[in-house]
Amino acid sequence: MKIAIITLPLHTNYGGILQAYALQTVLQRMGHDVQHLQPKVEFHPLHPAWKMPFVWSNRLLRKYFGGEWRLPIFEHPHRWIRRYSDVFIYKHIEMRPLLDEEWNTSLAKDYDVFMVGSDQVWRPCYALPLERYFLSFLNDTCSNPRIAYAASFGTKNCEFSSNQILSCRKLLQKFSFISVREQSGVEICNQLFGVNASHVLDPTLLLSKDDYLKLIQNQTPGKGNLMVYILDETPDTRLFISQVAASEKLTPFNTNYSLGNRLGIPQLPVENWLRGFVDAKLIITDSFHACVFAIIFNKPFICIGNNERGMTRFHSLLDLFGLQHCLFIEKQLFEIPKINWEKVNLKLKQLRIGSLLSLEQSLNTLMITIPV
């Protein structure tokens, strides 16, 4: 079948990029043709045209006299920031960019199935416009099957408005198969939307460590053995990292470059980020997907709770593998988590088989009903 996947925009979020790559890879191995439908990126000027000569002159001076050698002079800073992640996206992910007006029912003739997922595609602050991620662009006459794989609300309590609940409930009830990434999502689907949902693994966990090693086989080892990937850095987290490094005699290396604070430095390539898990003896992170890849690569990790980005995701993931002791809460006594990787890997294998079977069965059922 030809499957259209609707996920959050792919740009500099490593987890978002790799979950899209993983779901696509799994579906292709099942024999399907896959495309990700994505909003077309338009880099609007940050300044009015009359001001640009002054901006370029300022950048030139900063570049040659301020030592900011990576600062782009003429290129849009956001395009510059994502230059390496875009290379990975265009090389490994099948995409179809769409303008706003192109998100309509005419897409139905190009695909057999529409699939939503994964990541926080059902969290209003990230999914804009929200109804698009419930396939609102397909009208009532469209008979194409609709599926959700490992969709996430992000938080334990649904953040939808009452109007959004009403509109999305009608849309969700048109889905043939619904699966969510967190156990709390199963309850939200049942209680607020009146539909049944299965609890499955994030797509990144459907691929093996060897699958990811193939992506980084040409990457050279980095410098350092304490991988730090902090999305929301604070003075407390910086102090904690330095204390861990000193206590364990480890050399930290940072794999996150903030888009907002360092517009002159491009985001590290996806391959470099993955390579960090190979090089690390320990990982400190407040990222859901960094925890996922620490599990895949069997690396001890400390997960710093991040309430703003959704704690439910962390609890759900760590509960699955008996790793709640890897969650660090401020002011608690520090200790490197001891992990029984044999037990974790056995659990991962079982959950992976179950999630793949669930996805494959849902698609096989549709193949019987879709005319060739």
pLDDT tens-digit map of 287-308: 999 999 999 999 999 999 877 7
pLDDT of residue 258: 58
**The 95-98 sheet, strands edge to edge:** 95-98, 33-39, 2-6, 113-116, 146-151, 177-180, 198-199
Is residue 58 domain-resident? no
pLDDT of residue 267: 83
Under DSSP, is residue 301 helix (H, G, I), strand (E, B) or coil? strand
Query: Is 321 found in the same domain as 240?
Result: yes
151-165, 185-199, 355-369, range with the lowest pLDDT: 355-369
The number of angstroms, rounded, from the C-alpha of 105 to the middle of its chain's C-alpha atoms is 27
**Residue tagged 């990230």 (tokens):** 126
Query: Is 274 found in the same domain as 172?
Result: no
pLDDT of residue 261: 45
Query: Is 280 found in the same domain as 329?
Result: yes
Is residue 68 domain-resident? no
Query: Is 283 found in the same domain as 153?
Result: no
The separation between the first and the last C-alpha atoms of the chain, rounded to the nearest angstrom, is: 9
Query: Is 238 found in the same domain as 94?
Result: no
Is residue 264 domain-resident? yes
pLDDT of residue 182: 96
232-280 confidence digits (pLDDT tens) = 888 988 999 999 999 999 999 998 865 444 555 778 899 999 999 999 9
Query: Is 202 found in the same domain as 156?
Result: yes
Alpha carbon distances (Å) from 46 to 35, 43, 112, 227: 31, 9, 40, 34
Q: Name beta bridge partners: 301.
A: 283
Query: Is 238 found in the same domain as 159?
Result: no
Residue 92 has pLDDT above 90, yes or no: yes
**Structure tokens, 14:** 């490593």
Domain count for the chain, please give it.
Answer: 2
pLDDT of residue 107: 98
The residue type at 236 = D
Is residue 344 domain-resident? no
Contact 171, 178 (CB under 8 A): no
Residue 197 parent element (H or E)? none
83-92, 156-165, 302-311, range with the lowest pLDDT: 302-311
49-73 confidence digits (pLDDT tens) = 777 777 667 777 777 676 666 667 6
Query: Is 265 found in the same domain as 197?
Result: no
Is residue 54 domain-resident? no
Query: Is 26 found in the same domain as 106?
Result: yes
Is residue 200 domain-resident? yes
Domain with 155 in it: what CATH number? 3.40.50.2000
* CA gap 3, 288 in Å, rounded: 27
Question: What average pLDDT is seen over the chain?
Answer: 90
pLDDT of residue 53: 79
Report percent pLDDT > 70 for the chain.
91
Is residue 359 domain-resident? yes
Q: What is the dihedral of CA 86, 88, 92, 93, to 10 degrees?
A: -30
pLDDT of residue 368: 65
* CA gap 103, 160 in Å, rounded: 22
Query: Is 26 found in the same domain as 136?
Result: yes
pLDDT of residue 67: 64
- Structural domain of residue 182, as residue ranges? 2-43+79-206+352-369
pLDDT of residue 72: 73
Domain with 256 in it: what CATH number? 3.40.50
Residue 191 parent element (H or E)? helix 183-193
Query: Is 177 found in the same domain as 222?
Result: no
* CA gap 231, 238 in Å, rounded: 12
223 or 172, greater pLDDT: 172
* CA gap 298, 243 in Å, rounded: 23
Is residue 151 domain-resident? yes
Query: Is 316 found in the same domain as 224?
Result: yes
